[in-house]
C-alpha cells in the first residue's frame, strides 16, 4: 500500500544509485541542445558542499530561497542522515550582482534548523520574507522503524517521522537551535508536514498522517482553527493554494496502486473568509505514472509537476493547463525538461520568469538545485507573459 509524503518523496532518487547509462547504441542526451529555447539552466548547489540538496522555493520577490540539504563534514561524508533546512540569497548577474561568473548563484547560505533534526517543506511567509515555516522533528528523530513509503521492488525508502511538526522561525533571530523555533501545528506524536500558505498569509494548508492515512487540513492562522478539507482513502498531500486562493492542487494515491495522480478543487470559505472545505474535486492526471510535486504558475492557469512518464529512473518536469470547470476532458501534459536523470520538484518564481527544481543532470549525478530562465519555446512562457 502506498504511503507517500510529497516532501519526503521529494528525494525518492536522491539516496539511490545514479540512473544507468543509456545503451551504447542510443544517442547521448544533450540537454543543453534539447532545452535550447525552453530553459537556460544554471546549477545552484554543488556536491563539494552538499551530498544532496533540493526542494527549493522562492520568497515573494524571488530574492531569497529556502531548501533542504545534507551537508558534508570535513571528511567529505554526509554529516547527518537527515535533511537540514537552509536559507540563501539569490544573486543574479543581470541584476548587477558583482563577481558572478554565471547567471545565478546562492550567497550567504546558512542552516536554520537544529543540528541532527529531520526537516522538510520550507516556506516563506508571503507578507514577510523574514518569517519562515517548515516541518521539523526539532530534535533528532528516534531510531528504529517508522511509518514510511517503499515502492514495490525498489530498494529506496523514506520515512514519516512521528516527531515531525510544522514550526515558525524569525530569520532575524535564527541561530540554528531548537530554541529559535516556534511551534505552529503538530504535537510531535504524529507526522504533520507539507505545509504551504495562502498568498494573503491567512491560511496554512498541510498534511496530517492519521492511522496510516494522509489527509489535507487547513489552519486559520488568526484564529488557530483547524479544518480537515480533504478526507479520502490513501495519502493526499503536497497541496498548494492557487495564487488567488480560489483553488488547491495536490497529489494522492487514491487507487493504492503504487501510482500517484494530481487533483484540484475549489476552495470553500465562510462569511469571515475562513477556509471550511473544498468542492468540485477533479483529477488533472489519470494515467499509469507517478505524478507528484504539483506547483502553480503565478497566473494560476497552469500546474507544473514531476512525473515518471519517461521512466522511474528519469523523472521529468511536465506542465498541464487547468481546464474549465465545465470541461470534463483531462488536460494534455507538455514536457518542460529533457535531461537524463531525475528532474523533480519544480517551483516557478512569482514573476513567472524562473523555474527552480531538483535535478541529477550534473556530472556526478547527485541531486542538486538548478534554476533557469524560462525560454520563449517553453510551455511555461505564457505564465511569464500573460
Q: For 229-282, write each residue's pLDDT tens digit.
A: 999 988 999 999 999 999 999 999 988 787 899 999 999 999 999 999 999 999
Query: In the prediction, which pLDDT does 96 show?
Result: 72
Taking the whole predicted model, whether its pTM rises above 0.85 is answered as yes
Distance of alpha carbon 66 from alpha carbon 202, whole angstroms = 20
Cell of 187: 504535537
Query: In the prediction, which pLDDT does 312 show?
Result: 78
Cell of 141: 528523530
Q: Which residues of the chain have pLDDT under 70?
A: 1-28, 98-99, 144-159, 383-386
Pairing of strands 203-210, 213-220: antiparallel
In angstroms, what CA-CA distances link 121 with 20, 315, 326, 334? 29, 20, 33, 26
Query: In the prediction, which pLDDT does 100 show?
Result: 75
Number of H helices, E strands in the chain: 2, 26
Query: Cα 198–201–207 angle (5° rounding)?
Result: 50
Strand pairing partners for 76?
none
Query: In the prediction, which pLDDT does 255 show?
Result: 82
CB atoms under 10 Å from CB of 324, counted, come to 8
* Domains in the chain with CATH codes: 9-384 (2.120.10.30)
Nearest CA to 89 out of 117, 114, 118, 67 is that of 67
Distance of alpha carbon 92 from alpha carbon 103, whole angstroms = 6
Torsion over CA of 133, 137, 138 and 142, rounded to 10 degrees? -170
Amino acid at each position: 500500500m502506498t504511503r507517500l509524503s510529497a516532501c519526503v518523496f521529494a528525494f525518492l532518487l536522491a539516496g539511490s544509485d545514479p540512473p544507468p547509462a543509456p545503451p551504447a547504441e542510443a544517442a547521448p542526451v544533450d540537454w543543453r541542445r534539447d532545452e535550447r529555447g525552453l530553459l537556460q539552466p544554471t546549477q545552484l548547489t554543488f556536491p563539494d558542499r552538499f551530498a544532496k540538496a533540493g526542494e527549493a522555493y522562492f520568497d515573494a520577490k524571488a530574492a531569497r530561497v529556502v531548501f533542504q540539504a545534507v551537508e558534508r563534514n570535513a571528511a567529505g561524508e554526509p554529516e547527518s542522515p537527515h535533511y537540514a533546512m537552509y536559507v540563501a540569497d539569490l544573486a543574479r548577474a543581470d541584476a548587477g550582482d558583482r563577481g558572478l561568473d554565471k547567471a545565478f548563484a546562492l550567497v550567504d547560505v546558512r542552516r536554520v534548523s537544529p543540528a541532527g533534526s529531520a526537516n522538510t517543506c520550507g516556506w516563506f511567509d508571503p507578507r514577510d520574507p523574514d518569517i519562515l515555516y517548515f516541518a521539523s522533528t526539532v530534535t533528532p528523530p528516534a531510531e528504529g522503524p517508522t511509518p514510511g513509503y517503499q515502492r514495490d521492488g525498489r530498494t529506496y525508502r523514506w520515512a514519516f517521522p512521528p516527531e515531525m511538526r510544522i514550526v515558525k522561525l524569525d530569520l532575524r533571530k535564527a541561530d540554528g537551535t531548537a530554541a529559535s523555533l516556534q511551534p505552529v501545528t503538530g504535537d510531535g506524536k504524529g507526522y504533520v508536514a507539507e505545509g504551504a500558505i495562502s498568498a494573503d498569509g491567512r491560511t496554512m494548508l498541510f498534511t496530517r498522517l492519521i492511522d496510516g492515512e494522509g489527509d489535507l487540513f487547513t489552519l486559520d492562522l488568526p484564529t488557530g482553527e483547524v479544518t480537515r478539507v480533504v478526507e479520502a482513502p490513501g495519502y493526499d498531500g503536497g497541496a498548494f493554494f492557487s495564487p488567488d486562493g480560489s483553488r488547491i492542487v495536490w497529489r494522492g494515491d487514491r487507487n493504492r496502486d503504487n501510482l500517484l495522480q494530481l487533483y484540484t478543487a475549489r476552495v470553500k470559505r465562510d462569511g469571515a473568509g475562513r477556509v471550511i472545505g473544498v468542492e468540485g474535486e477533479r483529477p488533472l492526471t489519470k494515467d499509469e505514472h507517478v505524478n507528484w510535486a504539483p506547483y502553480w504558475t503565478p497566473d494560476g492557469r497552469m500546474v507544473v509537476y514531476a512525473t515518471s512518464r519517461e521512466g522511474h529512473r528519469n523523472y521529468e518536469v511536465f506542465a498541464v493547463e487547468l481546464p474549465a470547470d465545465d470541461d470534463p476532458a483531462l488536460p494534455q501534459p507538455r514536457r518542460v525538461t529533457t535531461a537524463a536523470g531525475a528532474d523533480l520538484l519544480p517551483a516557478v518564481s512569482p514573476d513567472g520568469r524562473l523555474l527552480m527544481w531538483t535535478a541529477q543532470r550534473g556530472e556526478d549525478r547527485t541531486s542538486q538545485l538548478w534554476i533557469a530562465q524560462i525560454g520563449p519555446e517553453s510551455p511555461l512562457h505564457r505564465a511569464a507573459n500573460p
